[in-house]
Chain A
Amino acid sequence: GDSVTQMEGPVTLSEEAFLTINCTYTATGYPSLFWYVQYPGEGLQLLLKATKADDKGSNKGFEATYRKETTSFHLEKGSVQVSDSAVYFCALRPNRNSGNTPLVFGKGTRLSVIA
């Protein structure tokens, strides 16, 4: 079945460090790919998405490129801030004709950025 694997945390970085959170997926066809962020005590927020191969999603300095050949959607940010401390979830939505299909999530990666 469809699945998402992302690197386990926690990840602890100093402010202004470079961030990479790896995410790979298993799915048939061409799923849509997402990164969601969960700040402490809050619900999920969509961070960025990509719907087809080679698309790059970007938002708030974060980027991720849909790589079909490596089935990956790694999240990157050039310079993290303390306010980026959160849990990041990689997710996919299978491409099925039924339309409304639920997301499949990775386990989440907790990021802590220290000043």
Chain B
Amino acid sequence: GAVVSQHPSWVICKSGTSVKIECRSLDFQATTMFWYRQFPKQSLMLMATSNEGSKATYEQGVEKDKFLINHASLTLSTLTVTSAHPEDSSFYICSARAGSRSGNTIYFGEGSWLTVV
């Protein structure tokens, strides 16, 4: 079945550095992917909608210059956390919607735990 793969699963970085998280749809094309963020014991909050070949659409309150999203192909979207700070430590998860042959199901990546020290 359709699978969304996210990498890395865990990452620790120093404050001030940048981290890139990849989200791949493995056996289907996704013109749109979604990036969510989850703080401990909180719900998932939509950060942005990633559109292939065009700029991402960010939710209110999400800094687009800090959370860079690139959707360069139909199977890959990347989220780069620039100049990371400890308050950016969180669980980041992407999702993509498979097409009608896969029942239009929304699939989630495994998520990426980011710890900024």
Give the number of residue pairs across the A-B interface with Cβ within 8 Å: 45
What mask results when residues 35 to 56 of chain A are scored 1 for a CB within 8 Å of chain B, else 0?
0100000111110000000000
In the complex, are the beta carbons of B110 and A42 less than 8 A apart?
yes
Interface on chain A toward B: helix, strand, loop, or mixed SS? strand
A68: Cβ under 8 A from any B Cβ: no
In the complex, are the beta carbons of B111 and A46 less than 8 A apart?
no
Inside 8 A of B46's CB, which chain A residues have their CB? 102-104
B75: Cβ under 8 A from any A Cβ: no
Inside 8 A of B32's CB, which chain A residues have their CB? 100
Inside 8 A of B93's CB, which chain A residues have their CB? 43-44
Residue positions of A touching B, CB distance < 8 A = 34, 36, 42-46, 89, 93, 100, 102-108, 110
A-B contact pairs, 14 of them (CB 8 A): A42-B111, A43-B93, A44-B44, A44-B93, A44-B108, A44-B111, A93-B106, A100-B31, A100-B32, A103-B46, A105-B43, A105-B44, A106-B43, A108-B43
